[in-house]
Structure 1
Amino acid sequence: MLTRELFYTWIAIGLGISALIPGIETRCKRTANGKRYRLTIALLADDNNSNVTQQEGILMKNVVLTGEVGKCFLSPHYLKLKVHDSLGMDKKGWTWIKNGMEQASLSQGTRPGTRPNLIIGPFYTNLAMMLEREGIAYLVTDYKGFDWIDMSRVEDRVKWKTIVEIRPPAQEQNLAVVDLFSVNEWDSAVMVMPGQPRDNQECQDLASQLLNKQVSLIPYSVEARSDNAEAMIKEILRNARLSRQRHIIVCSPRDERDKLIEKVLKEAKLFDMLSKSKQYFIFVDPSSYLQPFAGANQMYRFGLFSARCQLLAFRYIRPSYDGTMQSAMEAASIDAARVTTLGLNRYITDQQETTNSFSDARFIKALKSVSLENGKTGIIHFNATGQREGYTLDLYKHGGEDMYERIAEWSFNGTSPDYRLNQTGIVNDPRKKPQIGIFPELVKVVVVIEDPFVMTKSISMERENREEFEGFTIDLLNHLQSALNFRYEIYVSPNNQYGAIWDGMVGEVKSGNATLAMGAISITSQREAAIDFSLGVLSTGVNILVSMPADHYTIFQFLKPFSLELWMAILGSSVVVSLVYFVLDYTRSEKKFTLKETLWFSVGTLLKRGTDFSPRPISQRVLTAGFGFFVLITVATYTANMAAFLTTKNLGKTITSFESLSENDDISCGTVRNSATMNFLSMGTKPVFKRLWEKIQESDGLVSNSSEGRERVARGNYAFIFDYLINAYSEGADCDIKAVASPILIQEHGIGMAEGAPFKTSINIELLKLKENGVLQGLKKKWWDDKRKCNIDVGNKKKSNVQFGVSHTAGVFILGAFGISCGVAFFLFKKFYLIAKPASRNTDEEDEKEKKQLCNASPGSVSRSSKHSIPTPV
């Protein structure tokens, strides 16, 4: 019994200690030992290793493990598997492939016995067989291998358990072309395709499907990379024109390499076939890249803007007007990375038990459950066997005035061509023609609620979603929408955060959930590495928001115009002048400037009261003139300063700079969590910023958004370091707070978008127009200057008048009361002092004084004596 209690005690102590270990929160809660799973990703490469470097870079950039996934998985280890040199794919069986994979793993630093958790690359049958046996996930990015093909995925109809396919099946894309022929009742066509059987398997499947639908097809094979390719194409087009064949199918599965579509267009232009309105060219490129139609430069190069023929192609990658579209390999690699990331997230989310072993079967299941609405290759969903489903193909025109006009939409779901191919309800605004290939049909804009950029307003629920918001960003978005003609939908970023790589607004754009990220999002190097940004919309910086200090009044505020030293100098000067008067008058027989009279004369002059007599000697008059001038200047100066001091509030000490904030230990500070400002302070190299970051950590100063920071500032003893524009708006809206310090970290607010976004140039041009026309400046005035409720800035703002109160002049009343009290006190003292003297003694002294005056025969004395002795007649 004692042993069991001791055992439980040690467990409790162990749990308590583990709670105090700093790194315990970073441990994986899904494993029994708390350690992270090892993750090995193998990339298939061709002989010359030309693709794997770029593909590895894409994966390393887009496979980012954060949150709980980052705690449970180590950073992926990438292997390079050359299909011929390492695996012997074209000569060996799947047993040799397995051994070759193990040898390549050991040679690239993988621990013995470690096998890949995921293989990414094109489809190889022998490799699929080996991975099926080993239970390893196989993320297929193309239907067939690089150069050598044993059997492409087009011909292979096996339901593999470990395969997850990124590309839409080529057979289904071919079915879209067949449905186009069926719906329009086209019964004949000419097909041009590559000559090598290993390059035209998709084309052979298309030809087979067309023949099954009773389409009379004339197929031609062309060695696209041979010297006589142009001559062969000329002969094919000459025959088509002579036979009046209106429908020409150009099938080029590897057109990025063969350039078959480009060669056909050049020869068709020579035959004047591009000017025939009833001539149809149907292009089939399973990669949906269609290099000759990638951008306006290519269109002008081939003269396609003036083409009157119908240049049609089904695409799952939206065409780009400015030519910035990514290659098919790059798009598939990005989607593979995103599927891998989401699959790992799903793996951890669905894991209920705690185990130290990684389950390949559950990982394959997690990959198949991934759903991505805005992938680079379209909507991504998988069925139980790992094949793409739920995607749509759009039929576009690629020439003439209707360039990039979407004329139909095809979906695999349906039992008939009319149901699968929708040629009705496709709305195209003529004003949008140049932009149809640039913007999605619905532009999703992610924002952060931040005054005054984006603010919510109370409206009826019957209105559209975008009308629920207002602010600078909403007005800017409306201007862009009006100029570029697109429809948009606004939604708030998760947790209302800006984000850095995979979180907040940046994460929404990077994951494809949002088309644009707009608001007070600063352009930083970290964000620029994750997504693209437009030109700067507004310039901003970082400053400090603090609470207004309380007003401080003193009852002796009337003494403030002069310093204590000056008051002492004035008093000393008066005393010195009094002494000089006394000395100058001391030798005279008729002394008027006694010590008492001299002091009273100086005080009277200083208070501009005047005296009962004036000095008569020249020396005293010169001294009086000089002292009077001194008093005049002193009083005038005091009056001027007094007016300023009484009409200006005396504010307590406050923060004025980042240096003063770092040195003030009585006030805490903070900023928004996971913001660009936080990253700047946390990585600051200057001592002042290091100290500020330490203060933020010590005082738990990080807040979730600027509204929370503003509230903490209003409560006092807190300084909020954040965006200058946001702080300026807060200062004008709340009179109890103010923005201080010169802005630092000067940056630009921009519009975030996915890397390589085709509409980036168009947005930049419109932003420049808005700046040149003064629209942006007008919007800034509307949402900052016109919304200001408080005039608290010193300089350009007018000061409000201060009404006098008792607090301004209380000291004067106290001083006056002090004078009255002293006068009454002296009077009472003298009165009671005289009463206390003996009456007889007073009478004897007066009689003696009168006798002396009579003896001296002084006229003045006689006069005074007569007043006492001779009564005044009535």
Structure 2
Amino acid sequence: MCNTLEIPHLEARLEPSRDPGHLFSVNMHPETSQLTRAYLDLLKLLKWTRFCVIYGDQSDLLLLQDIIQAPLQNDVEITVRQAKRGTMRETLKEIDKKGIRKILAHLNVDDTYMLLKSALQVGMIDPSHHYIFTNLDLETINLDDFKHNAANVTGFRLISREDPRVQDILHQMETYQVYSGSKILNSTHPRIIKTETALMYDAVYVLAHAVQQVDASTRLRLVNLSCEGDQAWAFGSSLYNYLNLVEMEGLTGRITFDRGRRYEFRLDVLQLKDTGLKKVGEWNPTDGLNFTSRQDMITSSSVFSNKTLIVTSLLEPPYVMVRKSEFPLIGNEQYEGFCIELLESISKIVGFKYKIELVPDGKYGALDKDGMWNGMVLQLLEKKADLAVTSLTINYVREQVIDFTKPFMNLGISILFKRPREESPGLFSFLNPLAIEIWIYVIAAYFVVSLIMFVLARFSPYEWYNPHPCNPDNGVMENIFTLSNSFWFAVGTLMQQGSDINPRAVSTRIVGGIWWFFTLIIISSYTANLAAFLTVERMVSPIESAEDLSKQTKIAYGTIQGGSTMTFFRDSRIPTYQRMWAFMENHEPSVFVKTSHEGIERVKKGNYAFLMESTMIDYTIQRKCGKFGKCEKQARH
């Protein structure tokens, strides 16, 4: 309508980039294309290669098209998500689950605060996460709940608070509030002017400058125009031209126009610090980004930045070990291991230096009987150390006094003990398939059967025969089952060989048949198991679970003195673990050890089971079991 009637139209809002040749409009707000350049310059400086773009509604998504489609780098991965008030936390959880730690958000003021609050609730406000907000009114949000969490929050503003004109307006606003009796809601929060308010303020002065110039050259006359007519305002073109010629300093900085579009403006880059949002740099269309503290933008904003932290730890392979070297080492170079490498990587990301100091008492940290802490936990509580980096187990009691990072390893309590040594086959290994009682019973049965055969053969007339069949009148009768033959008959049958001696009477045949059946079963079982006993190791573990340990007293068992495993058994209310704790506490000599190495050495000596974390047992089995024989790990508890 203004274009048709040639009436200059001043607006002060963010609009998608458009061709000014077809509009009779002058926009006080910087164009989307110019703001996009500022955001892209910051993304390139921070070297974001994987981040998420969050928008509010469809119009916000249109304004972000230049960023989404911009050729940042070949390996840049951009995820786009819409954030609604009802599903904001679910959206953030989805982003965090994907491992995305960088977020560019284009939201209104209320939704921006809601996003930060939701991120705080789901644990995404920390030095590892970085947020860039495109809303130019970030200063209007109360960020007191987030600035103490070492949050990485970056934003922009169009209003320079250091400008004397801005300070004068703010002073007038405060004076008016006091004079009129208006209640200042939060006196601790800095006085601010919203971007829209400042743009409207500047728009009035821009129009006043242009009208003054038009009126000075040609007497400006006002007329009534109809939307239904064809008449245009005669002074509209002149006023539009003079609006484009205005050059002035306003609350939003330098104001100049090119065909209705504002250029030569300046944006302040803000970073959230402990004291609130602070200016760390500037951006303008000509020079791009210029930082007063470039390190603040390159490294993550953190309370640890550029500080040297005291890190407490203790020697525990493979987490922390003494580095082997031909030359003497000092400082942090003395140590190596998984936790040392992890600490080095974290320090590079967060931007701090560190000094490693071993805990004096060599303990992880546990409550003693007097309710006092020891070990590394005590070092942290007394502020003798800033961080503890080691294989420190996360449990409920420790979480009451110190903070933990996310666990880098999940584990349980397992049992490490030495297996009985395998003995090589001996001279009498052939006896192993049957128990000693069975052998005694077989020998006894052999003698009994032999004697019974001898006695029955003597009483039965059918076992007596004429040794000279050709002489029927021979009065001498013989019995083949003499005492020696009876024993030989039983031996031959037992050895599955047989003999020429066979019973004739029914009674002796019944006894012989029973003996044959008995020897068939015994010899078949023996031959079936003999090869297996000579070639296959049969190791029956004396310990299969914590229940087995608690029911015996021959094998001693213990834990690290002052460790989380000892605390677990001491505070447990499960009967099995209570019995185990009573055994460990009252056993002499003491079953507790100072270090894992000492516990492993006791296991190597035998007759001792060591209770420790499963991952450490896995490491020990892989590295050391070959040196002192086979060892065994039982299930977690």
Length-normalised TM-score, structure 1: 0.36
Length-normalised TM-score, structure 2: 0.48
Normalized per residue, the structure richer in helix is: 1
